[in-house]
Amino acid sequence: MFEPFYEVVFNVSKNITENKTALGRPVIGVMPAFFPMELIDAAGGYPVQLWGNNLSLGKSDAYLQAFSCSVARSVLELELIEGARMVEGYAFTSICDTLINLRELYRRLFPKPTVELSIPITRTDEARRIYLKSVIASVISGLEDITGTKVTSESLTKASSLHARTRELQRQLYYIRAEKSGLIKNYDFYVTIKAGFFLPRSVYNQMLEDLLEKLDKLPQPKGKRTKIVLSGMVFDPIEIYKIFDDLNIDIVDDDFANGWRTVSKGPLEVADIVEGVTSYVFNPAPCCCLYNPDNDRHPYLVDKAKKAGAEGVLFWYIKFCEPDAFDRPQLIQRLKDEGIPASFFDVELSMTNFDAIKTRIDAFSEMIKG
């Protein structure tokens, strides 16, 4: 059932190159996270999310300190070893200092054009509107320069509905996973979501529809399994899901920046693009990278865990991700105060030995089982 998704995730370059030829559109690499890919599609580009690879780091060491996160380091490595030749430009979102620096590095090191959606801290006052208006205008014209195609209100509307459909289908997959816990292996689930990073919307949407139709007919497997919720920025390395599968632990929901925090987003409203993008970025899920006092992560996570019927919450911490690290201790404490067991483990995308993580996950599961 999941083979088509595996085929994509384990043959990324081949798939992107083939799709690029079929579409006749320039490939634009999207950096984490929350860049409205609708804008790229509307400009006649083919957006792909290239982060989350597990390259061993070498060349990137010359540009990024060892205490930068492996998400940034590995994606830079990919460009430095010329592993992203099919990509013609990059779109950044300024959600953390590392990414802001990374964009500057790309500007200096590579001839490929880049655009950056810099997000203002204040979301309410008029200054934000004026600022964002100019940012979005420059993002759109930057994209148009790469693709040679103008963004129109028709192309925006069309792109918006294609992407909205993807997220809607992905949400259905999330709901099935929560309702029929144990039906979808954790590993299969994240391979399916990840395949969407690389495929054109129309292709991916069709694959999701086919999958959902099959899953709909299947009953929930019997047997008691442990239910947990994960929280983090990036859901790689996906090898770790095999550990959860082996231990009969079901991830019934997540709070990943490239998981539910993105999947939960509604359609990009294109009538007023400034308001549309603001609302897209900040809603509905809170994120450690977005300053949003009206959307507190503490009650949000507690509520999420309770609604999912989770027996515990695990934080999947990408080492050296500062925004995530700042939030984590208080979040863990809050969950514990609410009687929800919580713990964390840290990962690097380039890691190959998962024994220590296995012990942590295993011990956490033994702990919540009592």
Partner 1 sequence: MSYFAGIDVGSLTADAVLIDETSNIISYAILPTGHDSQKAGTMAFRTALEQAGALEVDVAGVVSTGYSRGRVEEAGNSKTEISCHARGAFYYFPEVGTIIDIGGQDSKAIRVRPDGRVLDFAMNDKCAAGTGRFLEVMAGALNAPLEMMGKLALESTVEITISSTCTVFTESEVVSLISQGRKPPDIASAICRAIANRTSGLATRVGVADTVVMTGGVAKNRAVVKMLSEKLGHIIMVPEEPQIIGALGAAIIAREGGS
Residue 95 binds which of ligand SF4, partner 1, none (CB < 5-8 A, kind-dependent):
ligand SF4
Q: Among 91, 95, 281, 347, which residue sits at the site for ligand SF4 (rule: CB under 6 A)?
A: 95
Q: How far is CA 17 from CA 21, 24, 47, 131, 191, in A?
A: 6, 10, 12, 36, 20
The nearer residue to ligand SF4, 95 or 277, going by C-beta atoms, is 95
Nearest-approach distance from CB 33 to ligand SF4, in angstroms: 7
Nearest-approach distance from CB 50 to ligand SF4, in angstroms: 13
Contact 96, 88 (CB under 8 A): no
Q: Which residues contact 279 (CB under 8 A, 6 or more apart)?
A: 269
Nearest-approach distance from CB 289 to ligand SF4, in angstroms: 5
| Under rule CB under 6 A, residue 72 binds ligand SF4 | yes
Residue 21 binds which of partner 1, ligand SF4, none (CB < 5-8 A, kind-dependent):
none
Distance CA 130, CA 209 (A): 40
| Under rule CB under 6 A, residue 57 binds ligand SF4 | no
Q: Which residues contact 93 (CB under 8 A, 6 or more apart)?
A: 31, 32, 33, 34, 35, 99, 116, 117, 119, 281
The nearer residue to partner 1, 168 or 362, going by C-beta atoms, is 362
* Residue whose pair of structure tokens reads 């987003």 in the numeric block: 265
| Residues found near partner 1 in the complex (CB under 8 A) | 336, 341, 343, 355-356, 359-360, 362-363, 366-367, 370
SS3 for 191-203 is: HHHHHCCCCCHHH
| Under rule CB under 6 A, residue 233 binds ligand SF4 | yes
Q: Among 26, 36, 52, 323, which residue sits at the site for ligand SF4 (rule: CB under 6 A)?
A: 323
Nearest-approach distance from CB 52 to ligand SF4, in angstroms: 10
Q: Among 48, 211, 305, 318, which residue sits at the site for ligand SF4 (rule: CB under 6 A)?
A: 318
Looking only at residues 15 through 54 of this chain, which bind ligand SF4 when binding is defined by CB under 6 A? 32
Looking only at residues 159 through 218 of this chain, which bind ligand SF4 when binding is defined by CB under 6 A? none
Q: For 240, left (φ over 0), alpha (ψ -120 to 50), or beta?
A: alpha
Task: Pick the stretch among 9-17, 91-99, 203-211, 296-304 that binds ligand SF4 (CB under 6 A).
Answer: 91-99
Distance CA 265, CA 74 (A): 27
Residue 362 binds which of partner 1, ligand SF4, none (CB < 5-8 A, kind-dependent):
partner 1
Instruction: Give ∠ CA 67-258-48 in degrees, rounded to 5.
Output: 95
E strand spans, the chain:
27-30, 46-49, 87-93, 114-117, 226-232, 249-256, 312-318, 342-347
Q: Among 37, 87, 96, 361, which residue sits at the site for ligand SF4 (rule: CB under 6 A)?
A: 96
Nearest-approach distance from CB 336 to partner 1, in angstroms: 8
Residue 321 binds which of partner 1, ligand SF4, none (CB < 5-8 A, kind-dependent):
ligand SF4
Length of the chain: 370
| Under rule CB under 6 A, residue 321 binds ligand SF4 | yes
Interface mask (CB under 6 A) for ligand SF4, residues 266-295, using x and -? Answer: -----------------------x------
Write the DSSP assignment of 143-206 as a string of letters: HHHHHS----HHHHHHHHHHHHHHHHHHHHHHHHHHHTTTSS-HHHHHHHHHHTTTS-HHHHHH
| Residue 13 CB coordination number (10 Å) | 14
Residue 360 binds which of partner 1, ligand SF4, none (CB < 5-8 A, kind-dependent):
partner 1
Q: Which residues bind ligand SF4 (CB under 6 A)?
A: 32, 69, 71-72, 95-96, 98-99, 233-234, 289, 318, 321-324
